[in-house]
Structure 1
Amino acid sequence: MHALIEMYELTGQIRWIKAQNDRVRNGELYRCIADTKGAFYSGMPALYEAFGLRVIEAMNCGLPIFAANQGGPADIIVDGVSGFHINPNNGEEYSNKIADFFEKCQEDNAYWNKVSTAGLQRIYECYPWKIYSTKALNMESVHGFWRIRSKPNSDISRCSAPSSSEIWGVPGRYNK
């Protein structure tokens, strides 16, 4: 990769940051990238990412983001407005999207801020901490129910949980 950076004369314009496990440091890295008007791109985009926490964290720091067009990122990002969808199976397509973004930034000084602001607005409207924490607590409640229910001598093990068809109101094998 370093040879490609040198070949295309991109030294000083691209930074490789190895995987980080320190959540505080991640926030600082996102902030540093945003302060220099960079963009966040996951070097190994997932073919499918269920939720997209990295996307939300980066957008919450004001970073324009490039992420997979599937799974959680597809729901979080409004393509071309609050970030950009990429096809993880098409390297040429997503490299062109990244190049186009930075070309537009050079042509229009306000473009980076426009995408950054739209990303922040999307997070504030759709993914505030209150919604996220409520969903996390709901998931823990469901997990806790099944953890207790799976104990052989538990009173709750004799209870029956509603089926997904009962929850969603969709007729199924047990709910006609």
Structure 2
Amino acid sequence: MYELIEKYDLNGNFRWISTNMDRMKNGELYRYVADTKGAFVQPALYEAFGLTVIEAMTSGLPTFATCNGGPAEIIVHGKSGFHIDPYEGDKAAQLVVDFFEKCMLDPTHWETISKGGLERIQEKYTWKIYSKKLLTLAGVYGFSKYTSKPDKSKANHTIEMLSEIGFSKLVESVPITAEE
């Protein structure tokens, strides 16, 4: 990356975000990059969920992220961001170049992808949506506890079997009390 930055005279056009950076500073950095019509690129080999992707999109940044893992679900390719394959660096780089070239030809393109990302976040990834899903799941679980009596016979059978296997010798070694 450093060689490419030098080769194409891109010094001052990149901001590296540290993994241990303060979240408030990340938000300010995302906002700064968005204000200067930049983009967020997350080329991880795999990303389980993609919180940084959501943070960047929430800031209005056109986002390029790995197609492996959570970002594949978060981003709608070409509408709210772009999927990149980190194993195909040339294609990923070309996708970023194509985006910025299109932005130079059509100044509304950056805004279109930015708004698409913001809309996607509002559709799927707000605290309100998360809270509602969590409360719904909690309600379903809580309600089912009161409306049905779970079949504990299988669990009891398993416990008895494990006890018999693991503790039978131990049980035999316990002396019987005088009352029995």
TM-score, reference length from structure 2:
0.70
Q: Which has the larger radius of gyration?
A: 2
Rate the CA distance shift 1:126–1:57 in 2: closer, same or farther, 3 A.
same
**Which of 45-54 and 93-102 deviates more?**
45-54
Distance in 2 (alpha carbons) for counterparts of 1:160 and 1:127:
39
Distance in 1 (alpha carbons) for counterparts of 2:22 and 2:111:
27
- 1:117 corresponds in structure 2 to 115
- 1:4 corresponds in structure 2 to 4
Query: Percent same amino acid among aligned pairs?
Result: 58
Rate the CA distance shift 1:48–1:4 in 2: closer, same or farther, 3 A.
closer
- 2:94 corresponds in structure 1 to 96
The answer as to whether partners of 1:47 and 1:68 remain within 8 angstroms in 2 is: yes
Q: Which amino acid aligns with 1:127?
A: Y
- 2:40 corresponds in structure 1 to 40
Rate the CA distance shift 1:2–1:68 in 2: closer, same or farther, 3 A.
closer
Distance in 1 (alpha carbons) for counterparts of 2:25 and 2:32:
10
- 1:79 corresponds in structure 2 to 77
CA drift at 1:11:
2.5
User: Over residues 10-69 of structure 1, what are the superposed CA-to-partner deviations in whole Å (9 max), with x where a residue is unaligned?
Assistant: 223333333343111111111111111100012xx3322221111111101100000011
- 1:16 corresponds in structure 2 to 16
Q: Which amino acid aligns with 1:53?
A: L
CA drift at 1:111:
0.4
The answer as to whether partners of 2:66 and 2:83 remain within 8 angstroms in 1 is: yes
From 59, 65, 68, the counterpart of 2:66: 68
Gaps of at least 5 residues in structure 1 are 142-157, 162-176
Distance in 2 (alpha carbons) for counterparts of 1:159 and 1:124:
45
Q: Which amino acid aligns with 2:17?
A: I
The answer as to whether partners of 2:17 and 2:26 remain within 8 angstroms in 1 is: no
**Larger helix proportion, structure 1 or 2?**
2
- 1:131 corresponds in structure 2 to 129
Gaps of at least 5 residues in structure 2 are 139-151, 156-180
Helix, strand or coil at the partner of 2:65:
strand
CA drift at 1:103:
0.4
Helix, strand or coil at the partner of 1:123:
helix
TM-score, reference length from structure 1:
0.71
The answer as to whether partners of 2:66 and 2:85 remain within 8 angstroms in 1 is: yes
- 1:144 corresponds in structure 2 to none
